[in-house]
Amino acid sequence: MDILQTILALIVTLGILVTIHEYGHFWVARRCGVRVLRFSVGFGKPLFSRYDRHGTEFAVAAIPLGGYVKMLDEREGPVPDEQLHEAFTRKSPGQRIAIASAGPIANFLFAIVAYWLLSVVGFTSVAPVVGQVTPDSVAERMGLSSGTEIVAIDGRSVSDWRDVGGRLLERAGEQGAVMVTVEEGGQRRTLTTDLKGWRLEGRQPDPIGRFGIEPYRPDIPPVLGRIVDGSPAQASGLQQGDRVKAVDGEPVGDWFDLVDRIQAAPGETLTMTIQRNGHETILSVTPEPVEGEAGQTIGRVGAGVAPIEWPEGSLRHNQFGPLESIPRALGETWSDTRMILVAVKKMVTGLLSPENLSGPITIARVAEATVSSGFQDFIGFLAYLSISLGILNLMPVPVLDGGHILFYSIEAIRRKPVSEQAQAIGVRIGLALILTIMVFALYNDLMRL
């Protein structure tokens, strides 16, 4: 069931972003007078389709991992004389550049709209308060301490952990000093240390953890929240609000300790000491065996955690007016764009490990997690992924939109098309490069599992 949910989340996520991207190509192509033959979401045989009054087929195909806009093109077959003026190949280089650029631009516009919507509806962020500092880390060398709030890095303000991660990512692999401004008890001070070539090693892109910071989280006591109907927890008599004091006579530290013990005992009967309404009682529960994320068998009882109480000021609700949200949305989009470009540059130059590259499995898992966690996280993830898709497609690699833009730009300068032989060589190189990156990203995904 979990695997099906993950696959469905991936299909929905890619379906939304691909539709937006291809609609950008479609919309500009129509306005440049190009006849669009097919608008397809997905590859392969269409599952269903319909035609509009212009003769364009709108289809949803069987393989939901992309999409395309098929235009009238002399390179793909003979074009009737009366339709030559509607062929893509008969348009000026400027028009073809506009059509190729429209897909990535649509992705950026979607991100702006998504961030604008989040600002208008309102979103909750967690203040970047340091929980623990890892020994022998850059953070410890700098003098960061538990309980301080990070308010700026290298003079640039931060308001949540997402900002902190982005700023630290920009400094990964670099030499020189890093400055972190912190606040505690109303007093601000700036801490400085030399990075000494600090890098992000491993396949988990976690600049905050690698820097040596564990974000503050309130203690999560082993108190039960929602009880799933028909679950082992309900059958055993467990109730919402019960506090688990011990399992098989061994004291339980916190919620994660309780989860670990349940997952480690699929099909085994556990004796739980429960505190309820000031009294202790003993109940027996048998976790049902289920498949975990890595394919192993784990135990599950069907009980959630009780709501967590955060200290005052730790959670911040942000909401802005429609006009005030416009510059914020533009700023968020630019911030994500900058962070992605910096990451790409660092991978190319070797300052950032290519093991941080993620593929479809990671995207699917994050998509499922954000869908489960709510509207705010899912919309934010869509916006970030849309920007990533836009940047990827603008790279000057043949077979991508950026490669087509490069060819058309050269044609505009030289006043004659790039030779078919040169384009064919470029396409082969581009395909080889893209396939290599895809295989490496998939390998990283599998290693993360």
Out of 22, 86, 355, 368, pick the active-site residue: 22
3-state secondary structure 263-288: HCCCCCCEEEEEEECCEEEEEEECCE
Question: Is the separation of the CB atoms in 241 and 167 below 8 Å?
Answer: no
Q: What is the DSSP string of 101-141?
A: HHHHHHHHHHHHHHHHHHHHH-EEEE--BEEEE-TTSHHHH
Q: Which residue has the tokens 């989009």?
A: 333
CA 170 – CA 191 distance, rounded (Å):
18
3-state DSSP assignment of residue 38: strand
Q: Which residue has the tokens 């009238």?
A: 72
Q: Which residue has the tokens 């099909």?
A: 267
Closest CA to 399 of 361, 371, 437, 366: 437
Q: How far is CA 265 from CA 270, 289, 297, in A?
A: 8, 8, 9
CA 148 vs. chain centroid, Å, equals 28
CB atoms within 10 A of CB 309: 11
CA 244 – CA 280 distance, rounded (Å):
9
Question: Is the separation of the CB atoms in 314 and 129 below 8 Å?
Answer: yes
Give 105's Cβ-side CA count (13 Å radius): 12
- Annotated catalytic residue 22: yes
Residue 180's beta-bridge partner residues? 153, 191
Q: How far is CA 352 from CA 125, 180, 322, 366, in A?
A: 27, 21, 38, 22
Question: Is the separation of the CB atoms in 264 and 299 below 8 Å?
Answer: yes
Tell me the catalytic residues.
22
